Amino acid sequence: MGELIIGCHLSTANGYAAMADDAVSIGATTFAFFTRNPRGGNARELDAQDLAAFLATLSEHRIGPLVAHAPYTYNLCSAKPETVEFARRAMREDLERMELMPGHLYNFHPGAHVKQGADEGIRLICEGLNDVLEPGQATTVLLETMAGKGTEVGRSFEELARIIDGVKHDELLGVCLDTCHVADAGYDIVGDLDGVLDEFDRVVGLERLRALHLNDSKNPLGSHKDRHERIGEGTLGLETFRAVVTNPRLAGLPMVLETPQTGLDGWAAEIALLRTLAAREAES
Ligand code: FE
Ligand code: FE
Ligand code: ZN
């Protein structure tokens, strides 16, 4: 198996070039970042020089594909039309900006239907994506698997499949599987990772799986809580992550840590840990 493509969520606070330098400093070969302030304000204009330095670092260190993350505040299936309109406009702007760094991935939370029901939620998400996606765009948009907290849509592979089915340009869509979220949603990746991947393949199709979020969980299977834990310190445990990073069906996918850490050192250590887990298997 090839090298793991692994990294973590990084901050754009000091610019894009500095973010790519951070990735290099912790041994990351992919990473995630918010496409704008997570509270959903205006996106800063990209500085051409900063962008050029960013792209040069990515190519020099063979980093990517990146998995950009839409702010949590976007909700394509809100009951409030102005919230839906904001989410559509912001996603359109994010994707326009991502055309300046072609070939990466853009992950978003499908939404929360706020008691309108999952059917109406799915209908609105499809309508939003049909409005936002531009045929020929250079970014693949990923639906994230959700824990099923509150009225979250995307809590089951069936819901994700229904969204994909309702989108005209579905060639622009993929899925990002979050290990904490799927376990919290009730998929037993601890006991039977391959069975869960079989199920994903049957319902969605494994070719749709384009990225992973690696998080341990503070809560038991099926809890619908969505509280991330550091790798090996939660209910998923180290052996689950060894199984993930050595699974041939997941080889070559970018894997992004979203674990609670206080600084880059913690992520550097986790990246090294996962590389060790992957390498041990290769030797035996
Ligand atoms: Fe997420
Ligand atoms: Fe996630
Ligand atoms: Zn989460």
DSSP type of residue 34: B
What is the rounded distance in angstroms from the CA atom of residue 46 to the CA atom of residue 156? 36
On whether the CB atoms of residues 123 and 156 are closer than 8 A, the answer is no
pLDDT at residue number 11: 95
On whether the CB atoms of residues 145 and 177 are closer than 8 A, the answer is yes
198 alpha carbon – ligand 1 mean position (Å): 23
Instruction: Quick: pLDDT tens for 194-234.
Output: 999 999 999 999 999 999 999 999 999 999 999 999 999 99
188 alpha carbon – ligand 2 mean position (Å): 17
Confidence (pTM): 0.97
- Nearest of 242, 220, 247 to residue 231 by alpha carbon: 242
Q: What are the chain's domains?
A: 6-283 (3.20.20.150)
pLDDT at residue number 44: 72
Instruction: Quick: pLDDT tens for 120-139.
Output: 999 999 999 999 999 999 99
113 is catalytic: no
284 alpha carbon – ligand 1 mean position (Å): 34
Share of the chain above pLDDT 70, in %: 96
226 is catalytic: yes
Instruction: Report angle CA 55, 62, 134 to the nearest 5 degrees.
Output: 55
228 is catalytic: yes
pLDDT at residue number 242: 98
Alpha-carbon torsion (246, 249, 254, 258), positive or negative = negative
- Annotated catalytic residue: which of 16, 213, 230, 270? 213
Share of the chain above pLDDT 90, in %: 93
- Token pair for residue 144? 């994230």
Does position 284 have pLDDT exceeding 90, yes or no?
no
258 is catalytic: yes
pLDDT at residue number 283: 58
116 alpha carbon – ligand 2 mean position (Å): 24
Does position 282 have pLDDT exceeding 60, yes or no?
no
213 is catalytic: yes
pLDDT at residue number 181: 98
pLDDT at residue number 1: 53
Look up tokens 């000091």; give the residue. Answer: 14
What is the rounded distance in angstroms from the CA atom of residue 84 to the CA atom of residue 197? 32
| Type of residue found at 248 | P
- Annotated catalytic residue: which of 94, 184, 226, 270? 226
For β-strands 111-112 and 152-153, DSSP reports them as: antiparallel
pLDDT at residue number 237: 98
CA 20 to chain centre: 18
Instruction: Quick: pLDDT tens for 249-275.
Output: 999 999 999 999 999 999 999 999 999
- Token pair for residue 215? 């998080």
3-state secondary structure of 215: coil
Instruction: Quick: pLDDT tens for 34-66.
Output: 998 766 567 777 899 999 999 999 999 999 999
- Nearest of 41, 21, 40 to residue 31 by alpha carbon: 21
- Partners of 32 in beta bridges: 9
123 alpha carbon – ligand 2 mean position (Å): 23
What is the rounded distance in angstroms from the CA atom of residue 229 to the CA atom of residue 74? 24
On whether the CB atoms of residues 35 and 67 are closer than 8 A, the answer is no
Calculate the average pLDDT of the chain: 96
Mean pLDDT of 130-158: 98
Instruction: Quick: pLDDT tens for 171-182.
Output: 999 999 999 999
Q: Which residues contact 185 (CB under 8 A, 6 or more apart)?
A: 145, 146, 147, 148, 155, 156, 222, 224
